[in-house]
Amino acid sequence: MIDTGESAPDFTVPIARGEAYNDVGEFTLSEHLSEGPVVLAFFPAAFTSGCTEEMCTFRDSLNAFEAVDSSVYGISTDLPFAQNEFIRQEGLTFPLLSDFEHEAIRAYDVVREGFYDVMFVAERSVFVIDDDGEIVYRWAETGDERDFPALVEEIRETVETLAAD
Q: pLDDT tier at 139 (50, 70, 90 boundaries)?
A: very high
pLDDT over 70 for what percent of the chain? 93
The residues that bridge with 24 in the sheet, in sequence order, are 16
Higher pLDDT, 135 or 142: 135
CA pair distance 51, 18, nearest whole angstrom: 17
In order of start, what are the domains of the chain with their CATH numbers? 12-164 (3.40.30.10)
Q: Is 56 a catalytic residue?
A: no
Helical H segments across 3-48, by residue range? none
| SS3 assignment for 117-143 | CCEEEECCEEEEECCCCEEEEEEECCC
Yes or no: say if 125 and 76 are a contact pair by the CB < 8 Å rule: no
**pLDDT, position 144:** 60
Contact 58, 149 (CB under 8 A): no
Q: Determine which one of 8, 29, 38, 51 is catalytic.
A: 51
List pLDDT tens digits, range 65-123: 999 999 999 999 999 999 999 999 999 999 999 999 999 999 999 987 665 555 678 88
Does the structure show a pLDDT above 80 at 35?
Answer: yes
